[in-house]
Amino acid sequence: MTSFDCRDNRSFDLASEAAKRIKSALRYLESALPREANELRNRASVLSVCMLAARVIEAKIPRETAPRFGAFIPQFFADLTAEVEKGAKATEADLLRYQEAISYGSTGGDSIGQRLRILSRRLVTFDPAFNAVLRTGDGDGGTATALESMAEELAP
């Protein structure tokens, strides 16, 4: 597994608000996913889940929700896998759009935004305690840009 240190990115300010939000999101993820998350098989999925966690933090959803968030992640990716395996018989439009966004432009802003909107809606459906993520919108104050920049540095 590749490790990444924010200090390796000279243009990333560790004291910035974006850095603080990213650190908070990573702490939340550490609580939510105390085990290895094998369902996160690619960089696009890792970035999407990190951004969703950042949105949870931004929405000021209590940290006590981390176990539910952690339960959502494998459920979402199991549902996604099952739907993709159905092929032409697939009916879950959101999951198909998510897969399409992964397949045809995983690093583009539109693709990232679409994946985040889908994950947010599905998270709220999974557990209404996360309803506030739908009100955070796409304005993340630089968190997404910082995460995208880091993801690019991890690319092979």
Instruction: Write out pLDDT tens, residues 118-156.
Output: 999 999 999 999 999 988 765 444 555 555 555 544 444
Which stretches within the chain are classed as H helix? 17-32, 43-58, 66-85, 93-103, 109-126, 143-154
**Domain limits, the chain:** 6-154
- Tell me, yes or no, if the pTM score tops 0.85: no
Upper half-sphere CA count for residue 74 (Cβ side, 13 Å): 11
State residue 16's pLDDT score: 80
Model confidence at 56, in pLDDT bands (50, 70, 90)?
A: very high
Q: Compute the residue count for the chain.
A: 156
